[in-house]
Amino acid sequence: MSGLRRGFATYTVRVAQFQAAQADTVIAPSLLAADFARLAEAADAVEGAVDWLHVDVMDNHFVPNLTLGPPVVKSLKAATAIPLDCHLMIEDPARWAPGYAELGAYNVTFHAEAAADPAALAKDLRAAGAKAGLAIDRDTPVEDYLDLLPEFDTLLIMTIKAGFGGQQFIPAMLDKVRTARTHARAGHLELRIEVDGGIADDTIAAAAEAGADAFVAGTAVYGADDPADAARRLRARADAARSPH
Ligand code: DX5
Ligand code: ZN
């Protein structure tokens, strides 16, 4: 092989390795924007077009809103094969979060602001068979939690104030995404960075460029005439923004 061709072969392998090191884009529609009397139909509507179903659990204490809990997650688990991404906006997650893992949730994310010992809870979640996720709300700095990231599979960065769907995306939150992604890369962590709030056609690329690789979208998916098509469009935009250029 000529030096030039060998050089090209090495380059090709390097590009392939770089691409392999980047996790696939995750699109997670939030059921909060679906019809709560038709959750199974909402799941079916995006089957094959999405990776996770985002389930917002709110307890009327950690956030003012109130949504659903374990019985509904149990029914959803039986009704769909799409992995469930449970986002617990609740107080006392140490008491409640492992129950969601035991019900078969794929990923269980609790809020840093509500947890006394996030690392211990992450261990419990993993022991119960789920991925462990840490969420930080709008007013919480990410720097306080960087040292804990090796204990987690997912870091959820709120791009709104937690509690309600349909709010406007806050671009300044992407600084936290950049900080977390830089930290994760430096430490060779396999960490999903998920953004949640106001993710839509006009905001997803900026979040992807900042280093997010999992995208929650409520209104942008379930507010669309064709939710599966809306999810595919979001994925295409995220993939385009994440591809090396
Ligand atoms: C709000 C929830 C979000 C919400 C996002 O606290 O965590 O998951 O459903 O809704 P949109 O995508 O409409 O901003
Ligand atoms: Zn959420």
**Catalytic residue list contains 56:** yes
**Ligand 1 pocket, 214 CB below 6 A?**
no
Catalytic option among 56, 59, 137, 153: 56
pTM for the whole structure: 0.92
Residues near 17 by Cβ (< 8 Å), separated by ≥ 6? Answer: none
- The string of DSSP letters for 42-78 reads HHHHHTTT-S-EEEEEEBSSSSS-B---HHHHHHHHH
pLDDT at 21: 63
- What CA–CA distance (Å, rounded) separates 195 from 135? 10
DSSP 8-state symbol, 188:
T
Q: What is the pLDDT of residue 245?
A: 60
Query: Is 225 a known active-site residue?
Result: no
- What is the length of the chain? 245
Domains along the sequence of the chain with CATH? 23-242 (3.20.20.70)
Measure the CA–CA gap between 199 and 191, rounded to whole angstroms. Answer: 20
Q: Is 48 annotated as a binding residue?
A: no
Determine the Cα–Cα distance for residues 74 and 77; give it in Å rounded to an integer.
Answer: 5
Residue with tokens 């406007």: 168
CA atoms within 13 A on the CB side of 229: 4
Residues 6+ apart with CB under 8 A from 72: 39, 55
Q: What is the pLDDT of residue 18?
A: 47
For position 243, what pLDDT does the model report? 86
- Please name the residue ranges forming H helices in the chain: 3-21, 39-46, 70-79, 93-102, 118-127, 174-186, 204-210, 219-222, 227-242
To the question of whether residue 164 is assigned a binding role by annotation, the answer is: yes
Residue 118: the pLDDT is: 98
- How many angstroms separate the alpha carbon of residue 14 from the centre of ligand 1? 38
pLDDT in tens for each of the 245 residues of the chain?
Answer: 455 444 544 444 444 444 446 899 999 999 999 999 999 999 999 999 999 999 999 999 999 999 999 999 999 999 999 999 999 999 999 999 999 999 999 999 999 999 999 999 999 999 999 999 999 999 999 999 999 999 999 999 999 999 999 999 999 999 999 999 999 999 999 999 999 999 999 999 999 999 999 999 999 999 999 999 999 999 999 999 998 76
Q: How far apart are CA 81 and CA 43, in angstroms?
A: 9
Cα 55 to middle of ligand 2, angstroms: 7
